[in-house]
Amino acid sequence: MSKLAVIAVGGNSLIKDKRKISVQEQYAACLETAQSIVALIKDGYHVVITHGNGPQVGFVLRRCEISKYELPVIPLDACVSDTQGEIGYLLQKAFANVLKQEGIKKTVATIVTQVLVDGNDPAFKNPTKPIGTFLKEADARLHEKRDGWKVIEDAGRGYRRVVASPMPIDIIEIDAIRTLVNNDIITIAVGGGGIPIVKEEDGSLKGVEAVIDKDYASGLLARELNADCFIISTAVDKVCLNYGKPDQRELDVITVKEAEELLKQGQFPAGSMLPKIKALIAFAKETKNTAIITSPKNIFNAVKNQGGTRIIL
């Protein structure tokens, strides 16, 4: 039977240069990503792709800021759904074109994905995730009063909005995703960590102003699908110990136990490598399958045991 790979692509990997942020330039980055993943498809893998959306949500929020006196602010859950559709479209088009070049006939589809969080998650009481651009104090106070934002002053650089980052607990559209995978459709899902949703007392769904970490959500999806491998694509070929120091050392293969010990030592900074390593550990422990972290260009080689950092049970 064909193997299943869940591949998490970072939103920043679609914007490699802050001066090159147009849709056309993001599409060019999507093409590069598609080319590296299609090599796996040619090798017989089913694939599910997830992606980040931090910069893209920032663009939506910036447009809202520019038009704040003319148009309503877009709620954060709607910002995530907007960017899921936009990035999904770019990836769909890129994959379709690369597949055509390779003579492969496959369908690509994006699922606008809702992800359930707990309304009582402690993160809601202590929002810490900065989003959007820096604001002047007057604008920050306007949003604070009019829109209910929590804003903080950031080291003299201005004010920023902060929101909760609760843990994902369920993927609402998981059955639809399974159906696509079982029909060998290349599936793009859980974009930006998913649209954050809570359940009301009557069971109805409600979007909330939060950001779900895309690595945790991608790991949850990989576990739910019992993927054969879970790959997090990031800016480095391999995870490094003592990163940026003279004694920096790359890791090839480590066990879950070794990875947990490195976490305790503080080797992986929060907001960077920490959630990635935690998501990979959780996947390897639950499925007993291989978890990988590597750069986009190295995905195929890493899956074939020729690169990247692998976490095994």
Q: Is 63 helix (H, G, I), strand (E, B) or coil?
A: helix
Q: Which of 3, 12, 68, 301 is catalytic?
A: 12
Residue 132 is among the residues annotated as catalytic for this protein: no
Residue 297 is among the residues annotated as catalytic for this protein: no
DSSP H helices in the chain? 23-42, 54-66, 76-101, 137-147, 174-182, 214-224, 256-264, 274-287, 299-303
The half-sphere exposure of 143 on its side-chain side, counting CA atoms within 13 A, is 25
DSSP codes, 200-253 = -TTS-EEE-SB---HHHHHHHHHHHTT-SEEEEE-SSSS-EESTTSTT-EE-SE
Q: Which of 10, 52, 88, 129 is catalytic?
A: 129
Inter-CA distances, 76 with 14, 44, 183, 190, 212, Å: 21, 38, 33, 15, 11
Q: Which of 10, 52, 192, 276 is catalytic?
A: 276
The half-sphere exposure of 42 on its side-chain side, counting CA atoms within 13 A, is 15
Is residue 51 within 8 A of residue 188, CB to CB? The reply is yes
Chain-centre distance of CA 201, in angstroms?
A: 29
Pair type for strands 108-110 and 186-188: parallel
Is residue 47 within 8 A of residue 41, CB to CB? The reply is yes
Residue 276 is among the residues annotated as catalytic for this protein: yes
Q: Phi and psi of 306, rounded to 5°?
A: -125, 25
Cα–Cα nearest to 210, from 192, 224, 222, 223: 192
Q: Which of 58, 193, 214, 289 is catalytic?
A: 214
Which residues fall within 8 angstroms of residue 147, CB to CB, at 6 or more apart? 73
Beta bridge partners of 47: 5
Which sequence positions are flagged as catalytic?
11-12, 129, 214, 276
